[in-house]
Structure 1
Amino acid sequence: MISEIGLLTVAGVVAGFVNAIAGGGTLISFPALVAIGLPPVVANLTSTVALVPGYLGAAVAQYQELKGQQGRLGWLFPTAVAGGITGAMLLLHTHEALFNALIPYLLLLAAVLLGVQEQVRVWLLRRISAPDMSEVGAIPLVFLAAVYGGYFGAGLSVILLAVLGVVLGESLKRLNGLKQILAFGINGAAAAFFVVSGEVVWSLAGGMAIATLVGGLLGGKCARVVDPRLLRCTVVLLAILLAIVYWLRQP
C-alpha cells in the first residue's frame, strides 16, 4: 500500500510538472493508476479528475490574455463544456474490453500530437497575421477536440491550439490563453460528470490531485530552466513504449 501511494505521488508530481512545461501529463498519471490495479476506464476518469487542479492553475496564470476575448468565450466555452461531457459519456459507455483494445492507439495518437507540437507552434506563428474569421466557425472543431479531451485527453492542448489557429487570426500568446481556459472547461466538465457517475476512486484521485498541483507549481518555477523539447521527447518516447507494452498485452 505504501509503495502504491509513493508511486501515485511521484506520478502526480511528474504529471503536473510535465503538463506545466510540455503537456502530456495524462501519459504519466494514467499508466500509474493502471499499474496499481485499476481497470483502464476507471483509471482514465480518475486521472482526469486528479489533473483538473493543474488545468485550473494554468487557466488562472494566463487569465490576462483573455481580455477582449469574452465574446469568443461566450461561444466557445459552452462548446468546450458540452464536448467534454460528451467525451466523458462515451468513455463511461465504452466496454472495458474495447477500451483496452483502444489504449495502444490512444497512446500513439497522443505521442504523435506531442511530437508535432513544435511544428504546430511554428505554423501558428506564420499564420497569426491571417484575417480573423468568426469564432462561430470554430464551434464544430472545438467540439470535436473537446470530445477527444473528455474521452482521453493526452495531447488536447495541441489540438486546441491548431483548431483555434485555423479560425482566429490572433497572437500565439492570446491563442494560448484561450486554449488554457477551454482546456480547463473540457477537463472540468468531464471530471464533474465522472464525479456524478460515482466511478471516481477518491482515495487515489484526491492525493494525486494535490501531487499534480505541487508538480504544476514546480513546473511553473522551472519553466525557464528545463528544455521543453527535451521533456516533450522523453514523454513521446514513454508514450510509444507504453503503447507497445499495452499492445503486447492484448489477448
Structure 2
Amino acid sequence: MDGGSAVLLVAAGVASGLSGSVAGLASLFSYPALLAAGLPPVAANVTNTVALFTNTVGTAAGSRAELRGQRRRLVRLGLLAAAGGTLGAALLLTTPASAFEAVVPWLIALGSVLILLREPLRRLVERLPAREDGTSYALAGAVLLVGLYGGYFGAAAGVLMLAVLSLSASEPLPVTNAVKNIATGAANVTAAVAYAFLAPVHWGAAAALGLGCLAGSRLGPVIVRHLPEKPLRIGIALAGLGLAGSLWY
C-alpha cells in the first residue's frame, strides 16, 4: 500500500467514523475506499469489518452520557448481536457471497423505511408479547438477524439496528443511536476476531482506516447530541435509501 492509498484510507476512515456513529452508514465511505486502494471485494469486506472495530471504541467514549444506566440493556442486546455476528462470519467464510449480497440493498431500504415510519410502527410493536426481561421476542430475533447481517457484510447494519431499536423504545434519538452503536459494535467485534485468523485481512489498510474511524466516531455522538431529532432521523433514512439505490445500480 503506497502513501496515497494510506492518506485516502485515513480520510475515508474519518468520514466513516462520523457517518457510522451518526447514521449507521460507515461502509458508505470505507468499503469503496478499500476497493479504490486496490483490495479485491472479499478482502475489502473483511478488512473493513476489522477496521470498524475502532468505531465502537470511539462512539462508546463519546456517548458516555447517553449510555448511563443502560448496562443491562447493552449486555442483553450485545450478546444477541454478537451471536448474530458470529453466524454472519461463519456464513461469509463458508458460502458464496453473491446470493446474500443481492438482498443487501433491499435490507438497507427496509431499514430506512422503518426509520421514517417509526411512530406508527412503534405503537404496533408495543402490543407484541414480551419476555420476562422486557425484551420482545420480535426485538430479540431482529437484533440477532441484524447482527448476522453485520457480521456477514455490514453495509448500513447500523441503519437496520437503529430502525429495530427505534421501534422498541420511547427515548431520545441520541440514546437510541448510542445503544445502536454498541450493539452493532458487538456483532462487528465477533466477526472481526474470526476474520483476523481465518480471512485475507490487509492489516496495513485496516490500520489506516481504523485510525481515521477512531477520530470520526469520537465526534459523531457530539453532533447527534446537538441536532434536532426529526430532521436527523429523516436525513439518516434518506441517506440509507441513497445507499440502497447505489447498490442496486
Question: Does the Cα contact within 8 Å between 2:114 and 2:163 map onto a contact in 1?
Answer: no
Aligned partners of 1:241 and 1:104: how far apart in 2? 13
Runs (5+) with no aligned partner, structure 1: 245-251
Shift of 1:29: 0.8
User: 1:110 is matched with which residue?
Assistant: 108
Shift of 1:204: 0.3
Aligned partners of 1:115 and 1:88: how far apart in 2? 27
Shift of 1:205: 0.2
The one-character-per-residue Cα deviations of 1:4-46 (angstroms, maximum 9, x if unpaired) are 2232222211111211222211121112212222221211111
Aligned partners of 1:164 and 1:221: how far apart in 2? 20
**Could you tell me the TM-score, scaled by structure 1's length?**
0.76
Shift of 1:199: 2.2
Distance 1:14 1:113, change over 3 A: same
Distance 1:108 1:7, change over 3 A: farther
User: 2:94 is matched with which residue?
Assistant: 93
Distance 1:6 1:238, change over 3 A: farther
* 1:241 counterpart = 2:246: yes
Aligned partners of 1:6 and 1:215: how far apart in 2? 15
Shift of 1:126: 5.4
Aligned partners of 2:236 and 2:160: how far apart in 1? 19
Aligned partners of 1:70 and 1:89: how far apart in 2? 28
Tell me the secondary structure at the aligned position of residue 135 of structure 1: coil
Tell me the secondary structure at the aligned position of residue 52 of structure 2: helix
Tell me the secondary structure at the aligned position of residue 144 of structure 1: helix
Tell me the secondary structure at the aligned position of residue 211 of structure 1: helix
The one-character-per-residue Cα deviations of 1:110-166 (angstroms, maximum 9, x if unpaired) are 25534653333x446757976882326243332112111111122323333443455
Aligned ranges 1:48-127 → 2 under 5 Å: 48-66=49-67, 69-95=70-96, 99=97, 103=101, 105-107=103-105, 109-114=107-112, 116-120=114-118, 122-123=119-120
Distance 1:115 1:155, change over 3 A: farther
Question: Does the Cα contact within 8 Å between 2:59 and 2:221 map onto a contact in 1?
Answer: no
Aligned partners of 2:67 and 2:135: how far apart in 1? 14
Question: Bigger CA drift: 102-111 or 145-154?
Answer: 102-111
User: 1:200 is matched with which residue?
Assistant: 201
- Identity, % of aligned positions: 33
Question: Does the Cα contact within 8 Å between 2:85 and 2:152 map onto a contact in 1?
Answer: yes
Aligned partners of 1:142 and 1:116: how far apart in 2? 14
User: 1:46 is matched with which residue?
Assistant: 47
**AA aligned opposite 1:215:** G
Shift of 1:71: 4.2
**AA aligned opposite 2:94:** H
Runs (5+) with no aligned partner, structure 2: none
What root-mean-square deviation, in Å, do the aligned CA atoms of Structure 1 and Structure 2 show?
3.3
Question: Does the Cα contact within 8 Å between 1:75 and 1:139 map onto a contact in 2?
Answer: no
Aligned partners of 1:114 and 1:196: how far apart in 2? 34
User: 2:135 is matched with which residue?
Assistant: 135
Aligned partners of 2:95 and 2:56: how far apart in 1? 25
Aligned partners of 1:232 and 1:55: how far apart in 2? 21
Distance 1:17 1:169, change over 3 A: closer
* 1:4 counterpart = 2:8: no
Question: Does the Cα contact within 8 Å between 1:124 and 1:162 map onto a contact in 2?
Answer: no
Distance 1:233 1:198, change over 3 A: same
